[in-house]
Amino acid sequence: MTSSNDSTYTEVPASVRAASALADTVLESTSLVRRLFAALRRDRQRRETLRQLRALDDRLLADIGLSRADMHEVVDRLIRRQA
């Protein structure tokens, strides 16, 4: 039988539990921020790619196998594949 003074088990202080919970929250927030910035980068890349494709004339688009009607779909697939 162990006594209440047995040092093999000590309760984790509330301050340590609070610090651990805070660390978990910070890590979750960091992950959320990273996902947000990744989404913003993908959106910027999508808009820039579309801007560049729109600048091409129809003949050049046809040379690379695109039509203006297909641009959004093709760029969206490309961006999703890179994510």
Instruction: List Cα–Cα distances, 40 to 4, 6, 19, 48, 79, in angstroms.
Output: 56, 55, 31, 12, 12
pLDDT digits (tens, 9 = 90+) for 26-73: 778 888 888 899 999 999 999 999 999 999 999 999 999 999 999 999
Confidence of residue 4 (pLDDT cuts 50, 70, 90): low
Given a cut of 80, whether residue 1 has pLDDT beyond it is no
* Cα–Cα distance for residue pair 79/39, rounded to 1 Å: 10
First to last CA, the chain: 58
pLDDT of residue 48: 96
pLDDT digits (tens, 9 = 90+) for 16-27: 788 888 788 877
